[in-house]
Amino acid sequence: MPRPRPPWVLVPRWTGSVAVAATPHGRDPAARRGPLPYHGPPMTTTPLDVLRTSLRDLTCADPRLEHEGRILTLSGWVDRRRDLGQLIFLDLRDRYGITQVVVDATESPEAHAVASAVRSEYVLRVEGRVAARGEGTRNPKLATGDVELRAATITVLSSARTTPFVINDPDAEIDEAVRLTYRYLDLRRGPLQRRILARGRLVQAIREVHHAAGFVEVETPLLIKSTPEGARDFVVPSRLQPGSVYALPQSPQQLKQLLMVAGMDRYFQIARCFRDEDLRGDRQPEFTQLDLEMSFVAEPDVMGWVESMALAVTRGVAPERPIAQVPFPVLTYREAIDRFGSDKPDLRYGMELVDLGDAVAGAGFRVFDSVLEAGGRVMGITVAGQGGISRGQIDELTEMAKRFGAGGLIWLAPGADGSIRGSVVKALGEERATAIARAAGAGEGDLVLIVADRDIHAQEVLGRLRVEMAGRLGLADPNVLAYVWVHQFPMYQWDADARRWDATHNPFSGVMPDDLGLLETSSGDLAAADPGDPAGRARALQYDLALNGWELGGGSIRFHTRELLARSFALQGYSDESMVERFGGILEAFEYGAPPHGGIALGVDRWAALLTDQTNIREVMAFPKTSSGSDLMLAAPSPAEPGQLEELGLTRAPRPAEG
């Protein structure tokens, strides 16, 4: 039965608009001319009338005083029922909001009979008249709280068992295994629902900004050839070619570079990626990346685009959250390690590392001397106001430092009148110890933590302690978003077991022009690598974007000539044959005219988590897996059917323990 279209429509749903400010790029303004502020149309909003259906006129968030006296139909879930006998209140809920329904036995006995039998989470359709609430009965906590729907007819669209956990309490703490088993019910609850909606807006904003800037959205296949990006591949056996397998992509890396060879110029994709590694709070076996690649670009072009895009998206999705610094700070890898002990530093607080090499030199303390002689570093951080730390807490931190690979942890706590506590005060003497603490920037009442170790290791351990202490002291403002670029990574790191150079990030990354001559071995034979090779000093055209101490993603300007790419692969230990076997496609493609190109991949799950204040990406994924890779709702993975294996030409080898 068609109804007249109601006239009170067109309330915008989401009004997050994307206005992209031009941001300068790089420290050298000329080098940062960069690209392309977004001046496209405003972001889409959802007009209200599209939400009207034959089962409802409005959503449960809509009724207002202006509707008073109208006969309207709402549909939704029973959030709560308050039964006062002859009078029953039902809070009707959908994802937009809540409207109070009143059922009066004297007004509509049939509706009252239905309402008496209704329970939480029943799905109802209610027709009634919108009435203004009387003085003193309005509810300012509800957007619809000035009115209520006086039920004339209630239809039960669906009944509901008692749910395994409460839907209507956003603060209820529920075992995560139960939440995952009934994910569809968890998704019905406010907090998770809001996060999934926020993620949807994030992806929408990403798409709109890229389309408006001329990027082409291209889908790449999921059944591809295994590519060595470091992680284990998920493998899919082929029925048509028994014994052969596809791999699921760890990322669309080669495909997007081939799209550049194809002249696509600007590509992006919201790409599902797969890595068969152990799970963590920020790692799931399947995850989503914003993958993009651009042609005819140098490093500032890509960083510039990504920065303006990230700003636009952030302002569209989380407009209320302050961004720490714009343009984003740019650190070299070396700087990031030396100042923060991390290549993904959290810049929401200071507590920077200090080199104490000069201060401890000649102190006659064997640990320091031997480390310095061996070319290592003595580094420290000063934790303000923590001089009163207990012995037990120091032991705990020492344990942690050891777990992170340090030999030990030295501490100093200068007190009043030149006194000083600490683990090495006796060995150093009070005077020397005080001088070291002062060199670290510590004053009375502060705590200095010192690690002496091989270069990088000292910084890395302190970097972790810095994060740990900041966490304990609550130094990071949870509201602030601190984006930071880190670039000029080393091209390679030495793999002592395989005796070859390993790409630190991406095997396709190009090299900084100044370091082109370093793509060499000492022997001159690329196949005979040695840890002292010049290649170990080469820096890559590689850039990472970090946000609040999480790596959001990274990218690079790629080699686009066959010669240089092959040279880099050779340094990474590939023979000519294995190179052709694994990368033959892209090497050949580069013989047919490849434009200079580069790009980046950003973790959408991590981004969504950070923008919604979560520390775990499961909280922004609709259907995540447990830390052992199970889907508790669908009970996946499950044992293979014998017929399936047979068809694929596979047999299952029993584990030794199973006999």
Partner RNA sequence: GGACCCGUGGUGUAGCGGCCCAACAUGCCAGCCUGUCACGCUGGAGAUCGCCGGUUCGAAUCCGGUCGGGUCCGCCA
Output the smallest distance, CB 134 to RNA, in A.
6
Quote the CA–CA distance of 504 and 456 in Å, as a whole number. 14
Query: Looking at 169-177, 382-390, 412-420, 635-643, which segment touches RNA (CB under 7 A)?
Result: 169-177
- Answer yes or no whether residue 398 interacts with RNA by CB under 7 A: no
Site for RNA in 65-104 (CB under 7 A): 80, 82-87, 89, 91, 100, 102, 104
Site for RNA in 508-527 (CB under 7 A): none
- Answer yes or no whether residue 238 interacts with RNA by CB under 7 A: no
| Per-residue b or e along 316-338, where b marks 16 or more CB atoms closer than 10 Å to that residue's CB | bbbeebebbeebbbbbebeebbb
Site for RNA in 439-458 (CB under 7 A): none
Which residue lies nearer to RNA by CB, 142 or 425? 142
Which residue lies nearer to RNA by CB, 102 or 264? 102
CB atoms within 10 A of CB 491: 28
Among 54, 158, 390, 628, binds RNA (CB under 7 A): 628
Class of residue 218 by CB neighbours under 10 A (exposed 0-12, middle 13-18, buried 19+): middle
Query: Looking at 36-44, 397-405, 477-485, 638-646, which segment touches RNA (CB under 7 A)?
Result: 397-405
- Answer yes or no whether residue 134 interacts with RNA by CB under 7 A: yes
Which residue lies nearer to RNA by CB, 45 or 398? 398
Which residue lies nearer to RNA by CB, 405 or 596? 405
- Answer yes or no whether residue 568 interacts with RNA by CB under 7 A: no
* SS3 letters across 39-72: CCCCCCCCCHHHHCECCECCCCCCCCHHHCCCEE
- Answer yes or no whether residue 165 interacts with RNA by CB under 7 A: yes
Query: Looking at 13-21, 300-308, 362-370, 548-556, which segment touches RNA (CB under 7 A)?
Result: 548-556
Which residue lies nearer to RNA by CB, 347 or 406? 406
- Answer yes or no whether residue 133 interacts with RNA by CB under 7 A: yes
Site for RNA in 588-617 (CB under 7 A): 601, 616
Among 33, 119, 211, 402, binds RNA (CB under 7 A): 119
Site for RNA in 10-69 (CB under 7 A): none
Look at the alpha carbons of 151, 155, 159, 163 in this order and tell me if their dihedral is positive or negative. Answer: negative
C-alpha torsion 55→59→64→70, nearest 10: -10
- Three-state SS for 191? helix
Parallel, antiparallel or unpaired: strands 216-217 and 266-274: parallel
Any idea which residue has 């790596």 for tokens? 551
Alpha helices in 495-575, H assignment, sequence order: 562-571
**CA-to-CA dists, residue 27 to 30, 296, 350, 597, angstroms:** 9, 21, 21, 22
Quote the CA–CA distance of 528 and 44 in Å, as a whole number. 57
Quote the CA–CA distance of 526 and 520 in Å, as a whole number. 7
- Answer yes or no whether residue 301 interacts with RNA by CB under 7 A: no
Output the smallest distance, CB 70 to RNA, in A.
17
Which residue lies nearer to RNA by CB, 120 or 423? 120
Which residue lies nearer to RNA by CB, 420 or 601? 601
Site for RNA in 339-378 (CB under 7 A): 343
Number of residues in contact with RNA under rule CB under 7 A:
71
Which residue lies nearer to RNA by CB, 74 or 356? 74
Site for RNA in 403-422 (CB under 7 A): 403-405
Site for RNA in 477-506 (CB under 7 A): 489, 504-506
Phi, psi of 301 (to 5 degrees): -65, -45
C-alpha torsion 93→95→97→103, nearest 10: -20
Site for RNA in 252-291 (CB under 7 A): 275, 277-281, 283
End-to-end, the C-alpha distance of the chain in Å comes to: 68
Output the smallest distance, CB 563 to RNA, in A.
24
Task: Quote the DSSP letter at residue 164.
Answer: S
- Three-state SS for 448? strand
